[in-house]
Amino acid sequence: MAIDYGFKVVGRTRMEKCTFNEAKRLVRQLVAAKGFPDDEFALAQKLLWAFVELGEAADTYKKGESWDIVNEELIDVIFYVLDFIGLVEKTQGIQVDVDHLFLEKWRQNMNRPEQYGQKRDIGYYE
C-alpha cells in the first residue's frame, strides 16, 4: 500500500507545507497504518494522551531540555488533538474544518481587550 505523506514536489524541492486540515488527514492516516485505537471508546483516551503530552512538554521545559525536545512534545499534543477531531468526524458523522475554526477563534480573540481572561497577575513561580 502506497502512503501519501502529503508532501508536494515543486521542481526538485520537496515542499513540506501543511494546513491543520491536511495534518488531521495525515494523523488519521498514521492511526490507521499503525493500528492505534480508532473507535468511539478511544475518544476520551485521545484527550487524555494530549494532556499527558502537554505535561511532558512542561516537564522537559522545566528541566531545561533543548527546545527541540520541548517542541517535539508540543507536536505530540497537536497530533492527539487532531486525532481526536478526526475520530469525532468518523464516529459522529460530522466534518470539522480545523483551519476555519482556528481562524474564527483567532479573530474572536483579536477583538477581545488586551490581556483578556487575566483577572490578576499571578507572577512567576520558582
User: Does residue 10 register a pLDDT over 50?
Assistant: no
C-alpha cell at 71: 517542541
Mean pLDDT of the chain: 88
Q: Above 90 in pLDDT, residue 27?
A: yes
pLDDT of residue 97: 98
107 — pLDDT class (breaks 50, 70, 90): very high
Band the pLDDT of 1: cuts 50, 70, 90.
very low
Closest of 71, 85, 101 to residue 24, by C-alpha: 85
Q: Where are the domains of the chain?
A: 18-110
* Amino acid letter for position 9: V
